[in-house]
Amino acid sequence: MSAIEGLTGELRRLPGIGTRTALRLSYHLVKGPKEDIRRLARALAEVAERIRPCSRCGNYCSSDLCSVCRDPSRDRSMICVVEEAYEVGAIERAGRYGGLFHVLGGRLSPLDGVGPDELDIGGLLKRVRDPAEVPKEVILATNASVEGEATAVYLESLLRPFPVRVTRLARGIPVGSDLEYVDGTTIAEALAGRREVREDA
């Protein structure tokens, strides 16, 4: 049984997976075809060997520059700053952004021991200063949490000396949601950010 216990122990280290789920997953894998286990092991090994952060934006990729940074059709005048690399995917799936990204690798969170030095802020400033990149706009797409807001405020203060437009994603009512279930702070933000219905008028 020790191999199953070993696997259960490894699975339990993953976020959101407790002892029972880890056990259930282990036994599911053991019960299924061996090939399924081997495929998962290979997929993990592949990620361990091949995935690294993009040397420019910090997005994950399997070469020196990520596919976004290498894509000549992307708009190089915009940098969208996100906390984590998986948020690049969330924005890409929305299909409305054609610029570049910059991954901070987290958010300012003094209680968790995350200060400016733990984030890739130096890389962002280097890109803003870089005459080869010359971004016109930096979109601060950190999360709408207390830490995400604090990070955005801090970045804005650092970016102020540069001739670059600094924006933040709009706050408001999520599409498809009922007002009844939207919290007061969001409604207040949505009111403050209200827009003319006929903007073209």
Interface with a copy of itself by CB under 8 A: which residues? 1-4, 6-7, 9-11, 13-17, 21, 23-31, 34, 36-48, 50-51, 60-62, 66-67, 84-86, 89, 105
Q: Least distance in Å: CB of 35 to a copy of itself?
A: 8
C-beta closer to a copy of itself: residue 59 or 151: 59
C-beta closer to a copy of itself: residue 51 or 187: 51
Using CA atoms, how far apart are residues 115 and 110, in angstroms rounded to an integer?
6
CB atoms within 10 A of CB 104: 25
Using CA atoms, how far apart are residues 139 and 79, in angstroms rounded to an integer?
6
Q: Least distance in Å: CB of 14 to a copy of itself?
A: 6
Burial of 97 (0-12, 13-18, 19+ CB in 10 A): middle
C-beta closer to a copy of itself: residue 33 or 163: 33
State residue 109 phi and psi, 5-degree precision: -155, 85
Q: Least distance in Å: CB of 105 to a copy of itself?
A: 8
Using CA atoms, how far apart are residues 121 and 114, in angstroms rounded to an integer?
12
C-beta closer to a copy of itself: residue 36 or 130: 36
Q: Least distance in Å: CB of 136 to a copy of itself?
A: 27
Are 43 and 37 in contact, with CB atoms under 8 Å apart? no
